[in-house]
Chains A and B, each alone.
Chain A
Amino acid sequence: MRKLIPSSIAIALLCFTVGCRSNNTNQVEITLSGWQANPNEGKLLDQTIREFEAKNPTIKVKREVINSQYMDVIRTRLIGEVAPDVFYLEAFEAPTLMKFGVLEPLNSYIKPDFKLNDFEPNLLNAFKRDGKVYGIPKDFSTLALFYNSTALKNAGITQPPRTWDELRTAAKKLTSDKNGKIDRYGMGVVPELPRQTFMIKAFGGQLVDPNNYAAFASPEGLKGLELVIDQYRRDRTAAQASDVGANSNSEAFGQGRVAMTLDGAWAIPYLKETFPKLKFQTAEVPKINDRQGTMLYTVAYVMNRQSKQKDAAWKLIQYLTDEAGMKRWANQGVALPSRRSVLAGLNYDRNPIYSPFVSGAKYGTIWQAGETLPTIVTSFDNQFVSALLGQQPLPEAMKRAQDTANREIYLSR
């Protein structure tokens, strides 16, 4: 009992001070979670946040970086009701979160002076469901053809390939073989669905049917994918990163082990910093079947429905995505701003390195396809690799991938 009294006094005091602190000021704290592609990007965002805090003294923003398994962490936190107030969301993951109603619809917050029409409609639509807007796209990137200018010049190729046939011819010339071991491949390939969906669409194939079942194994879908397999298996002018001992496609390109590759705008700062001697340029993805195509990736700021500080959260989203806010941190070159006016203002369309990415936004295939996509990706990636390695013919592999995915989707419904 004697010990109990002092400790209870201590506890009471503690409660009192805690109470005081929250009553004392009206300051609220909100959390912003996201990933970080490079330290520079983080510095810029921190700076923007400090400016925001200076303009809104009652709001304090805690920025949190989750770099590995981002969505697993966010989903688990959403379940545990400790999710951040504002967080990044990839278009690919949006359908699931929108469906389960864990995101706050933003329609009531958006005022006309926010100019929602200024956003590239393709990007905004990725975060809409039943007429409600659940996220404000912060930026986007498309795929473009990166090519090693030195290698192309040495091989006597004067201009980057414009069609897929030209690309294959160029890749043959660029593949160099000294003493029986290929030391440079013409093309770097990433055999994953997020990079290959536009190949499925190139001849009119579809990734999913209206009921969100996988539908990529159609003859039209196979035609596009066959091009990738043919180049890898028959021409032997393409390589995966692991074939040439690199950790990523961008690294393989930077090291000069592949002379061309399709990659996003995020690779530009990386290549410039890590491989300063490398001379590279970009071009639009070569036409396939006389049609332009590429992938389109976007990320939005979304608000947690369970957030207790929704007004403050919206103020932050607005600050980061309105015209002035987007300009403030869009010129770093990791991804392109999603507002058309900002994009135009940065003159990216006239910058030779960035313009192919900008043009891709008009015809790109957005990386999103309903809430069954995670199942489809796993299944596709597994079988596509085995077709690439020649363990089974492509049509068989894709049929299996489609059946496996659809059985899983059916069983989980």
Chain B
Amino acid sequence: MTPAIVILGAFLVLPIICAIVLAFYRVQLLGEVDFRFAGLRNFIRIQDDERVWIALQNTIQYVLIVVPCQTILALLLALLLNAKIRGRSWFRVAFFLPTVTSSAVLTLIFMWIYNSNGLLNNFLSFLGLPTYNWLGDPEVALKGIMLMNIWATAPLFMVIYLAALQDIPESLYEAASIDGATTWEKFWCITLPFLKPVTFFVITIGIIGTFQLFDQSYIFSNGSGGPDNSTLTIVLLIYQYAFNRLDMGYALALTLILALTIMIATLIQRYFFKEESLD
């Protein structure tokens, strides 16, 4: 038991306690190390920091669009692969591939695709649709990252859905068929309710993952969160304050705010899922 407690304590509990305590300090790490108690000043500063609100807005917008999209896409893919189509296992491998790629590599490939003379724009102009400057235009930069992330994470959740789908007893569908249920009714009244716990899991993990978006927007904007703050996320902002400006206390205060936001989002979601399961 003791080794486990020591390791967990040193690498899990201690950092959390340090983060919470230091969020109330002004920390000066470079040169002479210096801690000064700042009370709530770091938290009050958040109120006046325009960039925090931009980052929060971007992040929430990102969560609200990406989480539903990737969940629905994952479910659709899972349903498709669960149907008895030919070459099913081949499709499973093909669909799962994006998840295996590291996000850094993925971002670089997508930046090449998003290039103003790249694959995507060539394709769009071939179809006669408007093209975008995906990398340089603040209006669409975040959307580009969204697209990329949905494409990359949906397969992972697809696999989880697939596993859950195969757990639904065939007899239920047979019974429903005897009662004269249509395919749509079967999906609505059997499949979806059965998938509820998995959906809860997928959405929770999705929310946490999307709130912590960092690497894609970091590579995308070369660490700046640009163009025009459009790809600035909370975690990227924390990174900038902690390692570019060495403002560790303030960065930790922002970290606490992020943790709080994620907790609240999860709780709200749990509340909705509970409500529905009562009736």
CA distance A383 to B115 in the complex (A): 22
The segment from A239-247, A277-285, A357-365 found at the interface with B is A239-247
CA distance A302 to B118 in the complex (A): 43
Chain B: which residue is nearest A372 at the CB level? B245
| A378 close to chain B: CB less than 8 A | yes
CB <8 Å contact, A78 and B30: yes
Q: How far is the CB of B138 from chain A (nearest CB, A)?
A: 7
CB <8 Å contact, A100 and B51: no
CA distance A84 to B133 in the complex (A): 41
| B135 close to chain A: CB less than 8 A | yes
CB <8 Å contact, A102 and B30: yes
CA distance A177 to B56 in the complex (A): 42
From the candidates A71, A79, A240, A407, name the one contacting B136 in the complex (CB within 8 A): A240
CB <8 Å contact, B245 and A385: no
| B185 close to chain A: CB less than 8 A | no
CB <8 Å contact, B116 and A382: no
By a CB distance below 8 angstroms, the chain B residues around A383 are 228
By a CB distance below 8 angstroms, the chain B residues around A245 are 115-118
| B174 close to chain A: CB less than 8 A | no
By a CB distance below 8 angstroms, the chain B residues around A391 are 138, 228
CB <8 Å contact, B117 and A381: no
CB <8 Å contact, A102 and B31: yes
By a CB distance below 8 angstroms, the chain B residues around A71 are 244
CA distance A407 to B47 in the complex (A): 12
Q: With A244-B116, A375-B245 in contact, is A382–B49 under 8 Å at CB?
A: no
The segment from B71-79, B199-207, B219-227 found at the interface with A is B219-227
By a CB distance below 8 angstroms, the chain B residues around A378 are 224-225, 240
Chain A: which residue is nearest B45 at the CB level? A411
By a CB distance below 8 angstroms, the chain A residues around B51 are 404, 408
| A36 close to chain B: CB less than 8 A | no
CB <8 Å contact, A385 and B226: yes
CB <8 Å contact, A382 and B228: yes
CB <8 Å contact, B116 and A243: yes
A-B contact pairs, 26 of them (CB 8 A): A71-B244, A75-B30, A75-B246, A79-B246, A100-B30, A100-B32, A242-B115, A242-B116, A243-B116, A243-B133, A243-B136, A245-B117, A245-B118, A374-B245, A378-B225, A381-B226, A382-B224, A382-B225, A382-B228, A385-B227, A385-B228, A389-B138, A389-B228, A391-B138, A404-B51, A407-B49
| B57 close to chain A: CB less than 8 A | no
Chain B contact residues: helix, strand, loop or mixed: loop
| B167 close to chain A: CB less than 8 A | no
Residue in B117, B118, B244 with the greatest tally of chain A CB atoms within 10 Å: B244
Q: How far is the CB of A10 from chain B (nearest CB, A)?
A: 22
CB <8 Å contact, B229 and A382: yes
Q: How far is the CB of A385 from chain B (nearest CB, A)?
A: 5
CB <8 Å contact, B226 and A69: no
CB <8 Å contact, A411 and B49: yes
CA distance A19 to B226 in the complex (A): 52
CB <8 Å contact, B30 and A242: no
| A412 close to chain B: CB less than 8 A | yes
CA distance A240 to B229 in the complex (A): 18
From the candidates B29, B136, B240, B247, name the one contacting A242 in the complex (CB within 8 A): B136
| A386 close to chain B: CB less than 8 A | yes
CA distance A76 to B239 in the complex (A): 12
Q: How far is the CB of A184 from chain B (nearest CB, A)?
A: 13
CB <8 Å contact, A408 and B29: no
Chain A positions 131-185 with a Cβ under 8 Å from a chain B Cβ: none
By a CB distance below 8 angstroms, the chain A residues around B126 are none
CB <8 Å contact, A100 and B31: yes
By a CB distance below 8 angstroms, the chain A residues around B116 are 242-245
CB <8 Å contact, A72 and B49: no
Binary contact readout B39-58 vs A (1 if CB under 8 angstroms, 0 otherwise): 00000010011110000000
By a CB distance below 8 angstroms, the chain B residues around A375 are 245
| B250 close to chain A: CB less than 8 A | yes
By a CB distance below 8 angstroms, the chain B residues around A386 are 138, 227-228
By a CB distance below 8 angstroms, the chain A residues around B138 are 385-386, 389, 391
| B90 close to chain A: CB less than 8 A | no
Residue in A76, A245, A383 with the greatest tally of chain B CB atoms within 10 Å: A245
Chain B positions 128-151 with a Cβ under 8 Å from a chain A Cβ: 133, 135-138
From the candidates B115, B223, B226, B247, name the one contacting A382 in the complex (CB within 8 A): B226
| A352 close to chain B: CB less than 8 A | no
By a CB distance below 8 angstroms, the chain A residues around B243 are 72, 75-76
Chain A positions 73-101 with a Cβ under 8 Å from a chain B Cβ: 75-76, 78-79, 96-97, 100-101
Binary contact readout A204-243 vs B (1 if CB under 8 angstroms, 0 otherwise): 0000000000000000000000000000000000001011
By a CB distance below 8 angstroms, the chain B residues around A75 are 30, 243, 246
Q: How far is the CB of B161 from chain A (nearest CB, A)?
A: 37
By a CB distance below 8 angstroms, the chain A residues around B115 are 242, 245
**CB-CB nearest 10 A-B residue pairs:** A245-B117, A242-B136, A100-B31, A386-B228, A100-B30, A245-B116, A101-B31, A79-B29, A245-B115, A72-B243
Q: How far is the CB of A249 from chain B (nearest CB, A)?
A: 13
CB <8 Å contact, B133 and A242: yes
By a CB distance below 8 angstroms, the chain A residues around B117 are 244-245
Using A245-B115, A389-B137, A389-B227 as known contacts, list a sample of 12 further A-B pairs with CB atoms less than 8 Å apart, ordered by residue number in A. A102-B30, A240-B136, A374-B244, A378-B224, A378-B225, A382-B224, A386-B228, A389-B138, A389-B228, A404-B50, A407-B48, A408-B49
CA distance A194 to B81 in the complex (A): 53
CA distance A244 to B115 in the complex (A): 9
By a CB distance below 8 angstroms, the chain A residues around B224 are 378, 381-382
Binary contact readout B54-90 vs A (1 if CB under 8 angstroms, 0 otherwise): 0000000000000000000000000000000000000
